[in-house]
């Protein structure tokens, strides 16, 4: 791949990664109308998938390997999976909310609540699939950053640590999310790590330009 295309992917990947984090934060915490909230939430996965390609090119400029390509595939798969999880989750929430509001008898409402609890297990399972994919990608990306001049041992080591803790805690408490089990949710730590990674990715443009001359 020529230099201009590599640089373009690094830039697109960095900005899409940061936009993906922003979209998720807006969906989670901003008082947005439903349509805008859904758009912000559903943009997260596709933006993350695109950012993985940019991160791949930034890391591959130093050293490419099957493990880096596996990390990229897992990250793209994670982006697709989290989109499926969020759309499934919101569909269940919206339909069940409307149904429960219309249920005027306690027995009927209780029955629908049991159905809702069963349906919630669907998106909880998909949520764990997303965690496994993104945690594995984080570990492998972190490994490839250890000797990368634009990232280094600190950011690489933290990625491997946070990715490992994320997957261990989620599998240990499966299918209950760790936060719901009064434990530690390492997801926000991984998210903060990715923010730092995308900033460093954008800062690495000059290095990539020199490396690919």
- What are the pLDDT digits (tens) for 105-127? 676 676 777 777 777 778 888 98
At residue 28, the pLDDT reads 83
At residue 107, the pLDDT reads 67
At residue 81, the pLDDT reads 95
CA distance 112 to 82: 26
Extract the tokens encoding 36.
């805008």
Record the pTM.
Answer: 0.89
Q: Which of 194, 174, 173 is nearest to 71 (CA)?
A: 194
């Amino acid at each position: 791949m020529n230099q201009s295309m590599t640089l373009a992917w690094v830039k697109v990947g960095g900005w899409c990664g940061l936009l993906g984090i922003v979209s998720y934060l807006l969906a989670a915490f901003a008082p947005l109308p439903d349509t805008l909230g859904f758009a912000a939430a559903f943009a997260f996965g596709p933006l993350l998938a695109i950012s993985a390609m940019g991160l791949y090119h930034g890391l591959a400029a130093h050293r490419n390997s099957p493990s880096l390509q596996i990390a990229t595939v897992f990250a793209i798969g994670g982006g697709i999976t989290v989109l499926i999880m969020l759309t499934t989750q919101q569909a269940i929430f919206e339909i069940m909310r409307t149904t429960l509001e219309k249920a005027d008898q306690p027995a009927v409402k209780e029955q629908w609540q049991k159905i809702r609890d069963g349906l919630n297990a669907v998106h909880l399972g998909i949520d764990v699939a997303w965690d496994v994919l993104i945690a594995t990608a984080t570990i492998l990306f972190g490994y490839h950053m250890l000797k990368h001049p634009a990232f280094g041992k600190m950011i690489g080591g933290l990625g491997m640590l946070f990715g490992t803790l994320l997957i261990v805690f989620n599998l240990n408490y499966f299918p209950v999310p760790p936060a719901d089990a009064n434990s530690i949710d390492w997801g926000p730590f991984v998210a903060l790590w990715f923010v730092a990674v995308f900033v460093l990715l954008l800062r690495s443009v000059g290095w990539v330009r020199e490396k690919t001359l």
